[in-house]
Amino acid sequence: MEDDIGTRLKALRNMYGLSQREVAKRAGVTNSTISLIEQNRVSPSIDSMKKVLDSFSMSLIDFLTMDMESNEKIFFEKDEIIEFFENGAHLKLIGANRKDRKLRFLHERYEVGAHSGDEMLTHDSEEAGIVIQGELELTVGQQVKILKVGDSYYINNNTPHRFKNVGNVECIVVSAATPPSF
């Protein structure tokens, strides 16, 4: 258990947007008790702690194992994410620093004539995407398709594919895949 009891309780209370007095009222203890616990001025008895947590309909076990660090970044400014270059495209990976990601969510930019290369790409993951701007030639196995704005695709596991911008403007695609290969 990384956080002490007081810090943990304060975080929990703030998650619910409740005041110490409201929690105290629901728990059947005094608000001073809540204050003292949150400041780690006292170590509550197990019975008291249970009463407090009952007001959140939570067990002591859940309280002790609850992940407090759900402060992963949710919003990203356009220029905040560093672009990198791979497979002929300028890529921005959304949530790159998020732990235990289950998604690879990309903003892809292909310059006029750019392509992913002669080699077909394969990933042990399913992938879907949609064209936001320009025209994308997508080769999936033996199938070739020109996708325009609003057109989209869904590629199964390990299916060879490649991309090429065949329009006269920069092509932009937003894609996602799971499980993430990077």
Beta-carbon contacts of 83 under 8 Å, excluding residues fewer than 6 positions away, are 90, 91, 92, 109
Interface with a second copy, residue 35, by CB under 8 A:
no
Q: Assign 84 to helix, strand or coil.
A: strand
Interface with DNA, residue 7, by CB under 7 A:
no
User: Between residues 28 and 113, which has the closer beta carbon with respect to DNA?
Assistant: 28
User: Between residues 41 and 73, which has the closer beta carbon with respect to DNA?
Assistant: 41
Backbone angles phi, psi at 6, to 5 degrees: -65, -50
- Residue 55 binds: one of DNA, a second copy, none (C-beta under 5 to 8 A by kind): none
Tokens of 139: 């080769």
User: Minimum distance between the CB of residue 90 and DNA, rounded to whole angstroms?
Assistant: 43
User: Between residues 46 and 82, which has the closer beta carbon with respect to a second copy?
Assistant: 46
User: Minimum distance between the CB of residue 10 and DNA, rounded to whole angstroms?
Assistant: 8
Measuring CA to CA, which residue among 33, 32, 54, 44 is closest to residue 4?
Answer: 44
DSSP 124-167: SSEEEEEEEES-EEEEETTEEEEE-TT-EEEE-TT--EEEEE-S
- Residue 35 binds: one of DNA, a second copy, none (C-beta under 5 to 8 A by kind): DNA
Cross-strand bridge partners of residue 172: 109, 133
Interface with DNA, residue 41, by CB under 7 A:
yes
How do beta strands 126-133 and 161-165 pair?
A: unpaired
User: Which positions from 65 to 104 touch a second copy by CB under 8 A, shown as an x/- string?
Assistant: x---------------------------------------
User: Minimum distance between the CB of residue 159 and a second copy, rounded to whole angstroms?
Assistant: 26
Interface with a second copy, residue 61, by CB under 8 A:
yes
Q: In this structure, is the dihedral angle defined by the CA atoms of residues 14, 19, 21 and 23, taken in order, positive or negative?
A: negative
The site for a second copy (CB under 8 A) is made up of 1, 5, 42-49, 59-61, 64-65
